[in-house]
């Protein structure tokens, strides 16, 4: 069933676990995520970036995810990841997304608050949940490129001001993770997470979680992270499976390439769900 992000994440916040939010761009990734969630009985957040929407089309993604959620035996939320464009944010609300992220993390605090507040007002009037981000992660993906020197960890005082001023349902914070592949091992600022969680007492989101060691993920979950975004590790699972098949066989049927890639992605997604503590919570 399709549910709001708030419904999934308020429960995770109350019960102390994290739900995986996986980026999808096509049918195989979506099916891998849903298959995995059903197998381990986990609630799940399927998320689409603005890049995914440009690639696949908003109507294709909306139809595919609506169907997948209707058929699923677990709660599924459809979330817009890193929304920056007003038309896309409204387009997602109109096309049935149940959660949107407005990413104003590049803006000065007052401007981020003003713009996020406006989006919250519209989204809440439509029954759609809202995530926002404070602080800046490093790393590179399609529509996001933040140099290490521009990355900035979230200030606890600003987080309180931000949440009070905007009414967001969950907040993404920067505590040392980065988007994409890590060069070294990420070091997370757990004290900062603990302080922010205590002050806000609401669902908290961790971006850039691919490649973060299991013990750090488990600790972050214990300290109050409730939504964990994964994209890169699933991309790698897809590509590794495809590479193996095309370099070691003469197979040219896309189904025999994408099918095993889908299974490999589902394996990775299931392992993440076990790690996040959401397996068995559906
Ligand atoms: O954090 C961003 C997501 O991994 C989406 O990346 O903009 O390349 O689709 P993308
Ligand atoms: P990774 O690609 O590093 O897993 O980050 C995903 C993410 O934060 C999506 O918003
Ligand atoms: Zn992100």
| DSSP string for residues in 91-117 | HHHHTT-SEEEE--TTS-HHHHHHHHH
Q: Where are the beta strands (DSSP E) in the chain?
A: 19-23, 44-49, 76-83, 99-102, 129-134, 138-141, 144-146, 170-173, 178-179, 204-206, 225-230
How many C-alpha atoms does 196 have within 13 Å on its Cβ side? Answer: 30
Distance of CA 20 to the CA centre of its chain: 7
Q: Where are the beta strands (DSSP E) in 129-248?
A: 129-134, 138-141, 144-146, 170-173, 178-179, 204-206, 225-230
Task: Supply the pLDDT for residue 171.
Answer: 98
Task: Supply the pLDDT for residue 88.
Answer: 98
Instruction: Starting from the CA of residue 177, give the closest ligand.
Output: 2
Task: Supply the pLDDT for residue 151.
Answer: 73
Distance (Å, whole) CA 68 – CA 229: 20
Nearest atom within ligand 1 for CA of residue 144: 7
Ligand 1 pocket residue status of 177, Cβ below 6 Å: no
Ligand 1 pocket residue status of 262, Cβ below 6 Å: no
Enumerate the β-bridge partners of residue 134. 173
Q: What are phi and psi of 18, to 5 degrees?
A: -120, 150
Q: What are phi and psi of 203, to 5 degrees?
A: -65, 135
Residue positions annotated with a catalytic role: 81
Residues within a 6 A CB radius of ligand 2: 23, 81-82, 179-180, 207-210, 229-232
Coil vs helix vs strand at 172: strand
* CB neighbour list of residue 121: distance below 8 Å, 6 or more residues apart: none
Query: What's the gap in Å between 102 CA and the centre of ligand 2?
Result: 15
Q: In what order do the strands lie in the sheet with 138-141?
A: 144-146, 138-141, 178-179
Taking the CB of residue 187, how many other CB atoms lie within 10 A of it?
10
Query: What's the gap in Å between 133 CA and the centre of ligand 1?
Result: 15
Query: What's the gap in Å between 36 CA and the centre of ligand 2?
Result: 18
Query: What's the gap in Å between 38 CA and the centre of ligand 1?
Result: 24
Distance (Å, whole) CA 271 – CA 151: 29
Distance (Å, whole) CA 8 – CA 74: 11
Stated as kind and residue range, the H or E segment containing 120 is helix 109-125
Enumerate the β-bridge partners of residue 214. none
Task: Supply the pLDDT for residue 183.
Answer: 86
- Do the beta carbons of residue 236 and residue 29 sit within 8 Å? no
Residue nearest to atom 6 of ligand 1 (CA): 141
- Which of 5, 83, 141, 216 has the most ligand 2 atoms within 8 A of CB, as the residue to mutate? 141
Q: What is the pLDDT along the chain (282 residues), one digit of tens a residue?
A: 999 999 999 999 999 999 999 999 999 999 999 999 999 999 999 999 999 999 999 999 999 999 999 999 999 999 999 999 999 999 999 999 999 999 999 999 999 999 999 999 999 999 999 999 999 887 655 566 666 666 789 999 999 999 999 999 999 999 999 999 998 889 999 999 999 999 999 999 999 999 999 999 999 999 999 999 999 999 999 999 999 999 999 999 999 999 999 999 999 999 999 999 999 999
Ligand 1 pocket residue status of 51, Cβ below 6 Å: yes
Residue nearest to atom 1 of ligand 1 (CA): 179
Ligand 1 pocket residue status of 206, Cβ below 6 Å: no
């Amino acid at each position: 069933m399709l549910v709001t992000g708030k419904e999934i994440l308020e429960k995770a916040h109350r019960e102390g676990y994290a739900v995986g939010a996986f980026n999808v761009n096509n049918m195989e990734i979506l099916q891998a995520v849903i298959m995995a969630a059903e197998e381990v009985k986990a609630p799940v957040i399927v998320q689409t970036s603005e890049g995914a929407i440009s690639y696949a089309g908003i109507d294709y993604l909306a139809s595919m995810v609506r169907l997948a959620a209707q058929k699923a035996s677990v709660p599924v939320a459809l979330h817009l990841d890193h929304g920056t464009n007003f038309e896309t944010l409204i387009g997602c609300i109109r096309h049935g997304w149940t959660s949107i992220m407005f990413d104003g993390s590049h803006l000065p605090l007052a401007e981020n608050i003003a713009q996020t507040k406006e989006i919250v007002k519209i989204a809440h009037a439509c029954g759609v949940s809202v995530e926002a981000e404070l602080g800046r992660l490093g790393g590179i993906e399609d529509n996001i490129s933040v140099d290490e020197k521009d990355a900035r960890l979230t200030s606890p005082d600003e987080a309180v001001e931000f949440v009070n001023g905007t009414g967001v349902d969950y907040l993404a914070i920067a505590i040392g993770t980065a988007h994409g592949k890590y060069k070294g091992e990420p070091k997370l600022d757990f004290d900062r997470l603990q302080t922010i969680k205590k002050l806000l007492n609401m669902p908290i989101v961790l971006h850039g979680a691919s490649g973060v060691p299991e013990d750090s993920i488990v600790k972050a979950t214990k300290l109050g992270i409730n939504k964990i975004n994964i994209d890169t590790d699933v991309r790698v699972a897809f590509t590794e499976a495809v590479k193996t098949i095309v370099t070691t066989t003469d197979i040219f049927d896309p189904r025999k390439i994408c099918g095993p890639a889908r299974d490999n992605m589902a394996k990775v997604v299931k392992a993440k769900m076990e790690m996040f503590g959401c397996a068995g919570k559906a």
